[in-house]
Amino acid sequence: MSVWTFLRRIGSVWIAVIALYLLSGLASPAMLTLHQLLNVLQVAAFLGVVSLGETFALLVAGIDLSVAGVVTMTNILATAFMGGHGGSVALGVAVPLAVAAIVGMINGLLVAIVGITPLIATLGSNAVLYGGALLYTGGAPHGGTQPGFAALGQGSVGGLPASMLIWFAIALACTVLLRHTVYGRRLYAIGANARAARFTGIAVRPILVSAYVASSLLAAMGGLLLTAYIGQPALGIGDQFLFTSIAAVVVGGTALTGGVGGVGGTVGGALLITELNSITDILRVSTGVQYLVQGSIIALSVLLYRSIDRARRTRETM
Amino acid sequence: MMKSMPRRTLLGAAGALVAMPAFADVISSAKMTASGGMVGGAATKKKPPYRIGFSNGFSGNTWRTEMLASLRNEASHHPEIKQLIVIDGQGSITKQVHDIQNLAAQEVDAILCIANSGTAVAPALRTANREGIVTVPFNLPVSGTEWTAYTGTDPSNKGYVLAKWLRGALNGEGKIIALGGIPGNSYTAAAWAGAQKAFAGSKIEVLAFKDAFWEEDKAKVVTADLLAAYPQIDGIWADGAQDGAGAELALLAAHRPLVPVTGDDYNGLLKLYARYHASEPKFDIAELSEPTWESVVALRLALKLLQGEQVPKETIITPQLITSANYSQYIKADLPDGVYVDTNLTEAQLKTLFG
């Protein structure tokens, strides 16, 4: 088995995750404690779930820049519906998910039917969502979360963070959907070559739309977990995911050109980025260096995956 | 609230400091200090009614919302103001420069401004000033002196006062972490520089300084990481109380005792203190306010200038120190965490604002 094959099979991001974990343990033994490991997993869940959604968008050769707005909108709506006396957890969860589904539907229609570039369509949606959150709150958000809901972000089950368990469960469901259903195979086919997929009789547009709906819904789920973690409304709380959600997917091996990649890599990518932030926090590295390291790893990842892809193509032509 | 501010250089400007009384109707006993000599008089006098422009660097956080509500409220009580034009810079430096130019082109009588970048807006304010428009930047300083008057607090002093309090709370000895705002912002830089002066000569060990973006969730995540690395954290210095509250929440989540913490007049930290101080003997707070009524002071300065009165070149507001001794006077238990409590808005106005 060649090195490239081995890397492809295991997912090179996971090697990076393990290597970084061990290296960070050398730099600071605190990273190796069970408490810190669980802390990283708990925090990684928020980015992890949002990135799972981004994976759908990238797999169909698109991109979803509206996840930041969806997370912010989810946080604002969830806390508004749950906060205060008579607040409803059911509404606090259902309303953001419903709005997210509509946002995803609009994104998908703009891309698949109207033909707007995904980058522009979703960037526009992001601005609309932020503007909507500002208008809705008047710049003065209010509300909070119910204790039972907060447990999703802050609690644990059998010593394991609840947010992590939810993340893994959603990742498993996405894996089944993408790898073991006809829908998933079609989605990959469209991402690899939409035209060819159309010629084989695949209904491209509905699947494209569904990918953006999935992206928005998962962003909203990530937003709900983050809201449960912090318990407060905060305008702009989703901004942190604009860049990192795409980074996690790309570092995880999903190609920006579509059709290549998957859930396992994205889970590793989210873990790697959270791990990086964590170790740089512990090592007292400045925010500037944090950004620099993150950017470099993304660039290196793209180069690595391109090399793997070239090696594969060379082997196939031999 | 605080963004892209160059480190204040104006406080050391020539001119004797003169203590001035606080504005009588502001719910605060804050004092103000004048510096840089007097400006105005016939040179800035204009006939009413006035058209006032306000270039807000950005909006969307609760401090800005309250500040703007105070400004609108104040303007509504001045019949000499014909129109208040508010333009949102949306966090963009270039848009704000363009906004100021647009206000000047509309020939407003005065321009108030919270700068996204104190260096970038300086030329636009200078041009407006030379065209005879009264220019009053506030909250975040603007480079140079070619604006008419300025008002705001002193972040360096804020950092110093908070650190001095923390030093006292820890009896001059202990291990602390420090949390700042948005990376690279010079408000935090100035505050932290002031803090380090107060820590000098003590046995306070700063384990780490991290940017926490003035956001509770970021502060909670960063502190959770630091808790893993440092088994002993005796205190938290922060220039924003959202950071302080997030850090304390991380301590709670890790089942660690709550510790003395600093910040500004963020209601969330006051509510956290009210909830836990009885069960957490080491938990103590010091919040030094960033008054949301700075906009009111700025508008009144502009009106005085337009009416031909003389005002100080700089009016530095001494903020309120909120501690365990007086927090009950400030806490807004029925209002959201995001409320900044050093406000001149009434409870009813705040309740309307925060829906």
- By C-alpha distance, which of B299, B306, B243, B269 is closest to B67? B299
Q: Is the pLDDT of residue A183 over 70?
A: yes
Q: State the DSSP code for A114.
A: I
Residue B82 lies in a domain: yes
User: Distance between CA atoms of A169 and B27, rounded to whole angstroms?
Assistant: 52
Residues B130 and B81 in one domain: yes
Residues B229 and B279 in one domain: yes
The reply to whether residue B225 touches residue A287, judged by beta carbons under 8 angstroms, is: no
CA dihedral in degrees (A243, A47, B62, A95; nearest 10)?
110
With 0-12 / 13-18 / 19 or more C-beta atoms within 10 angstroms meaning exposed / middle / buried, residue A299 is exposed
pLDDT in tens, A36-78: 899 999 999 999 999 999 999 999 999 999 999 999 999 999 9
Q: Do the beta carbons of residue B4 and residue B186 sit within 8 Å? A: yes
Number of domains in chain B: 2
pLDDT in tens, B295-337: 999 999 999 999 999 999 999 998 989 999 999 999 999 999 9
pLDDT in tens, B327-343: 999 999 999 999 999 99
| pLDDT recorded at residue A1 | 56
Please state the rounded mean pLDDT for residues A222-235: 94
Nearest CA in chain B to A236: B60
A164 or A146, higher pLDDT: A164
Please state the rounded mean pLDDT for residues B151-174: 96
With 0-12 / 13-18 / 19 or more C-beta atoms within 10 angstroms meaning exposed / middle / buried, residue A318 is exposed
Contacting residues of A for B229, CB less than 8 Å apart: 28, 30, 281-282
Residue with tokens 């526009």: A124
| pLDDT recorded at residue B295 | 96
H/E segment holding residue B316? strand B310-317
Q: Are strands B50-56 and B110-114 parallel, antiparallel or unpaired?
A: parallel
Exposure string over A34-46, b if 16+ CB within 10 A, otherwise e: eebebbbbbbbbb
Q: Do the beta carbons of residue B261 and residue B236 sit within 8 Å? A: yes
* Closest in B65, B209, B254 to A140, CB measured: B65
Q: Is the pLDDT of residue B25 over 80?
A: no
Residue B189 lies in a domain: yes
Q: State the DSSP code for A31.
A: G
Neighbour count for residue A97 (Cβ, 10 Å) = 18
Residues B139 and B81 in one domain: yes
CA dihedral in degrees (B250, B254, B256, B259; nearest 10)?
0
Looking at every residue in chain A, the average pLDDT score rounds to: 91
Q: What is the CATH number of the domain that holds B163?
A: 3.40.50.2300
Q: Is the pLDDT of residue B10 over 60?
A: no
Residue B2 lies in a domain: no
Residues B310 and B213 in one domain: no
Residues B230 and B275 in one domain: yes
Residues B169 and B240 in one domain: yes
Q: Are strands A160-161 and B261-263 parallel, antiparallel or unpaired?
A: unpaired
Residues B46 and B113 in one domain: yes
Neighbour count for residue A108 (Cβ, 10 Å) = 29
Q: Is the pLDDT of residue B21 over 50?
A: no
Residues B100 and B184 in one domain: no
Residues B106 and B201 in one domain: no
- 3-class DSSP state for residue B39? strand
Q: Where along chain A do its domains lie?
A: 3-317
Q: How confident is the model at residue A4 (pLDDT cuts 50, 70, 90)?
A: low
Residues B279 and B183 in one domain: yes
Q: Is the pLDDT of residue A309 over 80?
A: no
Residues B166 and B281 in one domain: yes
pLDDT in tens, B166-181: 999 999 999 999 999 9
How distant, in Å, are the alpha carbons of A129, A302, B239 from that of A57?
Answer: 18, 17, 39
Structural domain that includes position B111: 10-153+291-319
How many angstroms away from the CA of B78 is the closest CA of chain A?
Answer: 24
The reply to whether residue B64 touches residue A139, judged by beta carbons under 8 angstroms, is: yes
Contacting residues of B for A35, CB less than 8 Å apart: 228, 254
Residues B19 and B148 in one domain: yes
* Rounded (to 5) percent helix, strand, coil in chain B: 40, 25, 40
| pLDDT recorded at residue A3 | 62
Domain A3-317 annotated CATH 2.60.40: no
A156 CB near a chain B CB, below 8 Å? Answer: no
Residue B72 lies in a domain: yes
Q: Are strands B261-263 and B110-114 parallel, antiparallel or unpaired?
A: unpaired
Q: How confident is the model at residue B12 (pLDDT cuts 50, 70, 90)?
A: very low
H/E segment holding residue B85? strand B81-88
Residue B94 lies in a domain: yes
